[in-house]
Structure 1
């Protein structure tokens, strides 16, 4: 798990190493254990940095006046193969291929054995060398072999091109900026800014999307001309032709439901696939821990992990002053059932409030809430854990959110709008139900649930800008107009593309790596996703019970109280804090934002008076983001 960076001169050669060092040093939290560089003009030459463990080459600082065609920078968090043999940038034995790799390939030992049978030899025990030789053997088809999370760049001297790739779900990030002369890429947006070769400016389209959906929908970001390589895509740049080729190599497996499966067969399939996924993610040369909230997903994962590794540490977050947010009791009951090595950490609001600016810098873009992942990662760090399992993905795959539960209502309203009059009696908790009947397509319905602002409201707020996001979800994530088996499947598809791929992956990766922690996600293993999409919808939402089939697996392992409690999620009491501990910070930043005159200030005042904490915090985080990333007024 690491941070990667690079600069590619498209048309000429120029000195780039000082900029490359700045990019790489900005990611020291992602890789505090080692540092390395590669420069290429006519030959490929590796260089060391201040933190390089095995200094058998010249220091990168000696090259600041040297012109280069390409440069790679690398920061390493040592997880697999702790020896110097895993140092990057890494080359093959013929020195024709060079790689910077961020991530983990969980099945690298199987691929390594296959390559050895084909005559390949290895000098390390790292998965990085497996990726490099797999590319050497199979080219872009190597991506079909990998089970893992990854973002990497390979300089292919034979084809005179650079090959970039990102994992299927987008767990590991890869951002890039292309101008007429150069390509800049890195694991973080900040690394590109810190190159000093790019001037940060607001991408108004991305910021609009950020306010609409809480995150710019990838590949868009809130920074002008910085984009994300999409999940399950690769990108090639050829030096000779000066051309780019981008292709998708995997798709979420819709229309694969196996209607012949019985309920028991479905339970067995899920359980077997989950065991395999967790077993892969326990493979490390450092200690692995597990976050265990007390909810169904992370608790089930933690217990199964303990069966495979009895000494694994399980960690639970508790709140001293907010019982409604706690799932500690349920976690304790499960821990006692299985005699887990369990640690509970209680926090006070001040522990988060004191780090507001740090979280903003780590997040890299505005966000309408505060993320508990920041504190969870810090807890893992305090427990000397480098790798943690996380339960993200269960709600998206098996229907844990309200958006799934109300599908039936929306479908009925589409057929008969007269039902609206009876909704208060049938569904007393549904607000603005009449709006549901106005959404004609499944992507419009989806967008309704994953939005903070409407376009009409943003048109008033963004005085000089106007965009429509009506068809954004389908245009971004389903441009081929794929047809779904049913609407439940469509929501899962869009959740993996938008909510997971654009939003959740960013928060989890940024905050874990901020503390030099690797987060692993068993429920987002692509084989597990393929298994989940085979399970008929009728077993996912049965008798109005959400995640029914996953609960049937979970009840073998976790306390009954985990199954019976209402869904809480990993939340922080932002609404309360805005009125108390965060009051001064909120209004100071709102006033600073108003002084910028980039929004309609009368609309800003209306939002503040409306007391919607998500909308208020979106404004606050925008000011914090502007202050950290957009220096000019």
Structure 2
């Protein structure tokens, strides 16, 4: 796990100071070592966090044995030992997975990526061919940002590195602002900064002779398995169990102390339970708990720790302890997001406990139908007949519901009733939207918003499925919507930027691509969450206690509503005033939202204010101008 950066098409004489500035900006990602390689037109840099082969032999940029290939790599290749056996003809000099990438590229060229099971972003220079290839992993677990103009391409693990290069203007990406206001993030390939883009998951850049070609080597819609369609439920359960167990086992390869985040929910408990079956040593688990019963999952985490005899560390915080860490969390944020401080705090205390790598249950909800949206979308498919009712009548019903019972839920139901179609690409985007289009139009002083990025992503996915003559189950279609939008652009990005702020590597076994491909092909009859994540819990057998399986879903709950009205009120008010003065958001409309929140309007929850505060704070922190 590391941070990488590079410049393509830039004079070598000018590259060194630029590379230095970029590397310094991401020093937190790799405190163990740093290195760079420069030749005319190509500069590669890396900051190293040592996980596998802690010796100096793992220094990057790493060259192939014949000196022709140069590699910078961020991530882990979990099946590197298996590949090493397959690539015996290569004269290995280290015990790293980095060198296995070089050996694989030497044999298979750019097709090597199909052989890797892992999370990664890497760039590899072939000096003989004078070409550079940049790859990002299939599910987008590791980030890769880039900037391209007529003469140069810059790339890095974080936005801040590109900004520090001095070659990128610190300008707001105004067209992306509506996307952020809708979904508390900006969906790849766009970012909040003009000109800076994100390489899409499962994609690569091929750079040669000053020309960049973009390609895709994997997409879940193209690669999902049909194996489960003809199998009995007992066989499917066994397959899921075996695939998940193997995914966990692969992610335990490390030469540093490791552990697992443990909330006591189904996903983290499943990971810990399976870890206890295959780990060579006693599993270390970490749970952030609170003295206030309303916010604490301590008893659930403790029960799992006791069942699997883990070395359990319970980090007890008061909400005020957490509150004190929010300024640091905001400073660590590489790209604005409405979420993130929770991961920052968990990562901080885990790292301070001496752990360098931790497993997480992220991805379990998206794959096994853990969110309410799965049931909701399935029901909407059954209620298509509602769409035959007159549109004016449906709109009237929606407006009446909002008037009688004003709330976020009523607002979303009203939006659904006003739709001309209840196709997934029309209904799903509403479920994830933070502010309604009507409110955003007032904020941006626009008559009508142009396009909806989530609608576009889900629509493209459905179109691709149709082109491939696929008939994926509705729950799998929702999983793809979740994976391609919220998971990749919010959860994974936040996990990376907030864990790497503390040089902590987080591994996510639920996103093993072989498991993802298999579960996407499981029929709805076997996957419908009639009980919480039924397929997953059934596949695990008696591994998890029933009181964990059937416990209420909490998440990481904190008194944000009170903080923004009390302790953080002055801070939030100042940021919102400053945001209104930028000339991009109408100050009166912004103040109206803030006033409604302060007055206790149930349709304006804390999350609909907080991410606006975060946006302004991030723009100030990084000197971004409108």
Using the size of structure 1 for normalisation, the TM-score is 0.90
CA deviation after TM superposition for structure 1 residue 199, in Å:
1.7
Q: Secondary structure at the match of 2:410?
A: coil
| Residue of structure 1 equivalent to 2:61 | 89
CA deviation after TM superposition for structure 1 residue 142, in Å:
0.3
Q: Secondary structure at the match of 1:123?
A: coil
Q: Does 1:9 align with 2:9?
A: yes
Is the 2:52–2:97 contact (alpha carbons within 8 Å) kept by the matching residues of 1? Answer: yes
Q: Distance in 1 between matches of 2:195 and 2:459?
A: 20
C-alpha change, 1:125 and 1:255, in structure 2 (3 Å) is closer
Task: Within 5 Å, give how 1:87-166 maps onto structure 2.
Answer: 87-116=59-88, 119-166=89-136
Q: Does 1:558 align with 2:544?
A: yes
Q: Secondary structure at the match of 2:162?
A: helix
Q: 1:218 aligns with which of 169, 178, 188?
A: 188
| Residue of structure 2 equivalent to 1:436 | 416
Is the 1:296–1:563 contact (alpha carbons within 8 Å) kept by the matching residues of 2? Answer: yes
Is the 2:475–2:528 contact (alpha carbons within 8 Å) kept by the matching residues of 1? Answer: no
Q: 2:464 aligns with which of 464, 468, 480?
A: 480
| Residue of structure 1 equivalent to 2:451 | 468
CA deviation after TM superposition for structure 1 residue 478, in Å:
5.6
Task: Within 5 Å, give how 1:572-611 maps onto structure 2.
Answer: 572-611=558-597
Which structure: greater helix fraction? 2
Is the 2:147–2:155 contact (alpha carbons within 8 Å) kept by the matching residues of 1? Answer: yes
Q: Distance in 1 between matches of 2:225 and 2:324?
A: 48
Q: Distance in 2 between matches of 1:159 and 1:297?
A: 46
| Residue of structure 1 equivalent to 2:439 | 457
Is the 2:330–2:618 contact (alpha carbons within 8 Å) kept by the matching residues of 1? Answer: yes
Q: Which has the larger displacement, 409-418 or 508-517? A: 409-418
Q: Distance in 1 between matches of 2:140 and 2:518?
A: 19
Q: Distance in 2 between matches of 1:494 and 1:254?
A: 14
Q: Distance in 1 between matches of 2:476 and 2:302?
A: 34
Q: 2:291 aligns with which of 320, 324, 333?
A: 320
Is the 1:175–1:229 contact (alpha carbons within 8 Å) kept by the matching residues of 2? Answer: yes
| Residue of structure 1 equivalent to 2:489 | 502
Q: Distance in 2 between matches of 1:571 and 1:105?
A: 34
CA deviation after TM superposition for structure 1 residue 255, in Å:
6.9
Q: Distance in 1 between matches of 2:433 and 2:414?
A: 17
| Residue of structure 2 equivalent to 1:75 | 47
Q: Secondary structure at the match of 1:170?
A: coil
Q: Secondary structure at the match of 1:435?
A: helix
Q: Secondary structure at the match of 2:92?
A: coil
Q: Distance in 2 between matches of 1:414 and 1:606?
A: 36
- 5+ residue gaps, structure 2, are 402-406, 598-603
Q: Distance in 1 between matches of 2:414 and 2:624?
A: 44
- 5+ residue gaps, structure 1, are 42-68
CA deviation after TM superposition for structure 1 residue 153, in Å:
0.4
Q: Secondary structure at the match of 1:392?
A: coil
Q: Does 1:264 align with 2:257?
A: no
CA deviation after TM superposition for structure 1 residue 348, in Å:
2.0
C-alpha change, 1:40 and 1:151, in structure 2 (3 Å) is same
Is the 1:85–1:124 contact (alpha carbons within 8 Å) kept by the matching residues of 2? Answer: yes
Q: Distance in 2 between matches of 1:361 and 1:333?
A: 35
C-alpha change, 1:36 and 1:255, in structure 2 (3 Å) is closer
Q: Secondary structure at the match of 2:229?
A: coil
CA deviation after TM superposition for structure 1 residue 457, in Å:
2.3
Q: Deviations over 1:150-204 (max 9, x none)?
A: 0000111122111000000011110000112211110000000011121211001
RMSD: 2.3
Using the size of structure 2 for normalisation, the TM-score is 0.91
Q: Deviations over 1:380-427 (max 9, x none)?
A: 111100000000111101111111111233123322356988999xxx
